Structure 1
Amino acid sequence: MSTFVGFSCLRSSSSLTGVLRFQGQITGARSSSTTLDWITGSARCFSLRATSRSHDIGRTALLTGHASIPLWRSPPARSQCQRRTLFGRKSQPVLTEYVHLPADYKDAEGLPFRKDADLDWPETNRIFPGMSSMTPDRAIRLLKILHGRRVAGTLDDPSLRVNTKMYSQLEIEKALKYLRREVPVDEILNAGLRAEDELRELEAGLTAKESDSAESPPTEAEGVDVEQQQKKEDTRSIYGDSILDKIREANIARAEAEAKAEAEQRKKEEEAAAQNWGGLTSYDHSLHRGLHPKQLEHYEAATSDLEAPPEIPRWRVLLPTTAFVATLLVSLYLMVNYVAPPRPGSTFEANATVGAILLLNVGMFIAWKRVRLWRYLNRHFILDFVTPRPHQILTAMLTHQDPRHLLKTMFALVVGGSLLIPEIGPAPFVATYIASGVCGFLATMYTHVARGMLVYMFGASSAGFGVICAYFWLYRFDGFKILGLPPDPMQGVQGLGFIGLLISFFALVPMVRRQGGNVDWTSHLVGMLTGIGCAALMEGQWKANKISHELEEKTKDTT
């Protein structure tokens, strides 16, 4: 009976050449106790020494076979046909051996685990069943990192876990199970080769250090304190820093650099967000001119003397404004249902109502040009998230930053007023306008205060979008033609289509593109939904008034 003893790693240096030379000699080493077969597939190479009971000297051979492969080794890969493409993207090779590890390998990037490294949703679900949070992009990144660690021999290195800390242990186990089934890699062999390389580099560093100290020994005559020099060296080990320590320090430095870059990027986003909210355009510094000394005095008087936000619980910041908005909405509801119910309005009423709101906004825009009023306007006509006053959520709708923003908001007001007031009357229109504006402000205030983003806010974009969506909701199934298009007999775009376009362009697109300080998509979206809700509440009375008005017209025609 033969007994297998010994285990050594196969290197790609001189030992690999010797094994290849010995390959031709092992064919004659067959005996009754040992059987040698040629290696097929992706079997691993390791040295085994065969000895008999009579202690005869055996020969080193390359052995294969399913019976001799341990459980921790990956099974042979399935045979695949070689595919070639013309004018296509060149596929990257799949590396499985440590000796082929590229010099620019990074653990955070990993290595390709197959020629076509793309995954689709069905394949991702097969690899990670029951994990809805695992997207194809996250799966590809995790598989690349783990495959790179298997090849580099760093699968169990705790210092590299920072690159996979966003994945759960179950996800990592599923990924390793898939890789070990589909991409066989001798993980223990690669880990052993890496350890040998690190030991060799450590020995070379110690030898160079000893030679340098022998060539120029420090002496007291040269003013070198030997004891202080020894204290400055690393005291963790008498042999100095190991390669693993250096790798760990490099990873820590890289993680700190990434964290610093993320913090800077987050700070830039917060600064951009603090410039402008409420559907406003970003602050244009070219519009700002130098202040006169007298103007500078008013500017300093209007500026808060707080050096840092006060330590106030978030619920105390949100509760007063929320209570004010709730009271305001209840008052508007009672006014619309009992004081001035919806009724068809005239063109004169529409023009008068829109003109009054327009004059208020233009007058406030002119007031902001007077520096003497800055202190008062800053206190009462800007919604401040640090120390908000409840009434600011209503008065901030009258404040605008520059003429372009004022024109955009007033255009939405004119369009919505000219369409909605003839249908429901001036009082319900004003109620819808105010409700859409304050609800949009309140939603943005909640999202930012909850995240600790203490900024300021003003504008009336959400109010304008709210009244426009309210009109199209009343005619949501009717077709609208623009300049006579589309021609008959087609009915045109339904009101729901216009609502979808407004929500897409002014809410969903900015949300997907992450336009932080440029467009307040939260206020826009909530303002549109509030306008639709107001229209739904008034729809019953509006239909009744419309039917009665049609009956009156028919009666007049018959008489």
Structure 2
Amino acid sequence: MTMAICYLFAQNYKTPKRDERMWPNTPPAAATVMALIGINLGIFLLWKFPPAWRTLNRYFIVTSLYPYGASIIGSAFSHQKTVHALVNMAALWLMGTKGSAGDTDLPAQVHDDIGRGNFLAIYMASGVLSSFTSLAAHVLAGNLRYTSLGASGAVCGLVATWLMVRSNDVFTFYFLPRELDEIVKARGSTILAAVVGFEIISILSPWKFTRLDNWGHLGGYIAGAASGYALKARMEKDRRKKRSWWGNLTE
């Protein structure tokens, strides 16, 4: 049901005109991401308020022993630890408002690259599939003491979407010195394969060096990659429609 709603939202979302926006002087990408960060921050602060714990434990954290359906959604906006929240929100901000695609003339913002409707739908769908994947994996493994929350799965979905849409483009890393730009770079498909491979290796490895929710991340990447594949196909179809009949014949 949630996935269907996300799909319908992405397909039917209409970008509001400037005078219809709540913050007309704020770039759309920043407004979208700030709204998501605001929701996450609000729930984070509620975890510091004991009277809210009963509701939060039911709807904003996934527990494998006694899961609630709504918690699969709510957990994608929920953080208890400051570092966890800061890392995920920083990643969300960078993915939503920043970006680099190497030497190609591409939009610098992931949000503007795929559109607000798709951005929000993929955030939600990836967060839901991430939570469900993590829950299912731990229940099947008999780990009934497991709990999960956080926006990392949703962020992973956005990362995978963009890398899939830009799978053939060469990415550089802006935090590296300029002299390394020509050396350290990779195609979007290569980066996506690397991050997914890391999660799979971490799941299969008998040694756990971190406490990352690898199953949740993997679910987010799967949702994002599938979304990116569909978006790329639609973008290519739209691009072909805009070509002249002569361009199609001579391609």
Which interval holds the TM-score relative to the shorter structure? 0.7 to 0.9
Which residue number in structure 2 is paired with residue 439 of structure 1?
129
Aligned length: 220
Query: 1:330, 1:406 → 2: CA distance?
Result: 28
TM-score, scaled relative to structure 2: 0.77
Which residue number in structure 1 is paired with residue 100 of structure 2?
none
Taking the TM superposition and a 5 Å limit, the aligned residue runs for 1:59-74 are: none
Which residue number in structure 2 is paired with residue 334 of structure 1?
8
Relative to structure 1, the CA distance from residue 372 to residue 466 in structure 2 (aligned partners, 3 Å threshold; closer, same or farther) is same
Unaligned runs of 5+ in 2: 16-25, 98-108, 245-251
CA shift at 1:495, angstroms?
0.7
Counterpart residue type for residue 524 of structure 1: H
> Which is helix-richer, 1 or 2?
2
Q: Write the deviation string for residues 126-183 of structure 1: whole angstroms up to 9, x where unpaired.
A: xxxxxxxxxxxxxxxxxxxxxxxxxxxxxxxxxxxxxxxxxxxxxxxxxxxxxxxxxx
Which residue number in structure 2 is paired with residue 460 of structure 1?
151
The residue matched to 1:388 in structure 2 has which SS?
Answer: coil
Counterpart residue type for residue 65 of structure 2: V
Match of 2:35 among 334, 340, 356: 356
Query: 1:533, 1:350 → 2: CA distance?
Result: 22
CA shift at 1:436, angstroms?
1.1
Which residue number in structure 2 is paired with residue 472 of structure 1?
163
Query: 1:369, 1:546 → 2: CA distance?
Result: 50
CA shift at 1:372, angstroms?
1.7
TM-score, scaled relative to structure 1: 0.36
CA shift at 1:371, angstroms?
1.3
Match of 1:396 among 75, 93, 102: 75
Relative to structure 1, the CA distance from residue 465 to residue 485 in structure 2 (aligned partners, 3 Å threshold; closer, same or farther) is farther
Relative to structure 1, the CA distance from residue 495 to residue 341 in structure 2 (aligned partners, 3 Å threshold; closer, same or farther) is farther
* Aligned partners of 1:341 and 1:428 also within 8 Å: no
Relative to structure 1, the CA distance from residue 517 to residue 496 in structure 2 (aligned partners, 3 Å threshold; closer, same or farther) is closer
Relative to structure 1, the CA distance from residue 402 to residue 546 in structure 2 (aligned partners, 3 Å threshold; closer, same or farther) is farther
Match of 1:499 among 192, 198, 204: 192
Query: 1:463, 1:526 → 2: CA distance?
Result: 9
Relative to structure 1, the CA distance from residue 487 to residue 531 in structure 2 (aligned partners, 3 Å threshold; closer, same or farther) is closer
Q: For the pair shown, which has the larger CA radius of gyration, 1 or 2?
A: 1
Relative to structure 1, the CA distance from residue 420 to residue 548 in structure 2 (aligned partners, 3 Å threshold; closer, same or farther) is farther
Counterpart residue type for residue 444 of structure 1: S
* Aligned partners of 2:165 and 2:231 also within 8 Å: no
Higher relative contact order (CA 8 A, sep 6+): 2
Query: 1:487, 1:448 → 2: CA distance?
Result: 41
Query: 2:181, 2:217 → 1: CA distance?
Result: 33
Unaligned runs of 5+ in 1: 1-326, 552-559
CA shift at 1:482, angstroms?
2.9
Over the aligned positions, Cα root-mean-square deviation in angstroms equals 2.9
Taking the TM superposition and a 5 Å limit, the aligned residue runs for 1:42-53 are: none
